[in-house]
């Protein structure tokens, strides 16, 4: 099995000084590493008996869509505002300095459906918490929040208290 941690590159001072960005592009370019990450995500999703995968823009699309294809289940994107062509539901959330919003098609999920939310990175947890609220606003059930990388020192799990969480790597 490929050591996924070796395929995550640190980029110092990106996007601003003092930040060490965890770059997943070496993992994506490595076929065994990418497959290994998707396989591990699928195992976590199967354990929770999820019906469909919802991926968060944009890197959550890469892992979520690949896992959905591997599992033979559907994939739904959550996007930034005004990127989806059909009627949407929207959720606002707080950032460190201001607010942001995410959207999903109003008919993307059905009440009671068990959802696995997938993103590449858990940092402060704000985007994933908003995604959970968005999914729940259409009466679907979040059964798992899954990540490739978790920055444990940022304590994003605190914003996701009460949700099942799976992270492949923790830094």
Is 38 among the domain residues? no
Q: What is the pLDDT of residue 1?
A: 64
Residue 43 lies in a domain: no
pLDDT of residue 168: 98
- Please tell me the predicted confidence (pLDDT) of residue 57: 96
Residue 23 lies in a domain: no
CATH of the domain at 71: 3.40.50.2020
134 in a domain, yes or no? yes
Residue 137, domain member (yes or no): yes
The single residue listed with the structure tokens 């991926």 is: 55
**How many domains does one find in the chain?**
1
pLDDT at residue 94 in the model: 87
User: SS3 for 99?
Assistant: strand
Q: Could you tell me if 76 and 105 are in contact, meaning their C-beta atoms sit under 8 angstroms apart?
A: yes
- Is residue 117 a part of any domain in this protein? yes
pTM of the model: 0.95
Cα→Cα distances 160→105, 110, 124, 146, Å: 23, 22, 10, 11
**Residues of the chain falling short of pLDDT 50:** none
Residue at 93 is within a domain: yes
71 is written with which tokens?
């599992």
| Catalytic center residues | 59, 96
Does the residue 11 lie in any domain? no
Q: Print the domain residue range for 148.
A: 49-170
């Amino acid at each position: 099995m490929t050591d996924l941690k070796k395929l995550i590159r640190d980029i110092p001072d990106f996007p601003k000084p003092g930040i060490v960005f965890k770059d997943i592009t070496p993992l994506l370019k490595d076929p065994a590493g990418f497959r290994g990450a998707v396989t591990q995500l699928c195992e976590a999703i199967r354990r929770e008996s999820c019906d469909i995968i919802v991926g968060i823009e944009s890197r959550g699309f890469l892992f979520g869509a690949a896992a959905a294809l591997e599992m033979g289940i559907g994939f739904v994107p959550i996007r930034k505002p005004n990127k989806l062509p059909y009627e949407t539901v929207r959720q606002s959330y707080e950032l460190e300095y201001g607010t942001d919003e995410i959207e999903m098609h109003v008919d993307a999920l059905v009440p009671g459906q068990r959802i696995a939310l997938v993103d590449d990175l858990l940092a402060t947890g704000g985007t994933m918490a908003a995604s959970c609220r968005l999914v729940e606003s259409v009466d679907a059930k979040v059964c798992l929040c899954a990540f490739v990388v978790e920055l444990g020192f940022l304590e994003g799990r605190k914003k996701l208290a009460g949700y099942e969480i799976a992270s492949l790597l923790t830094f």
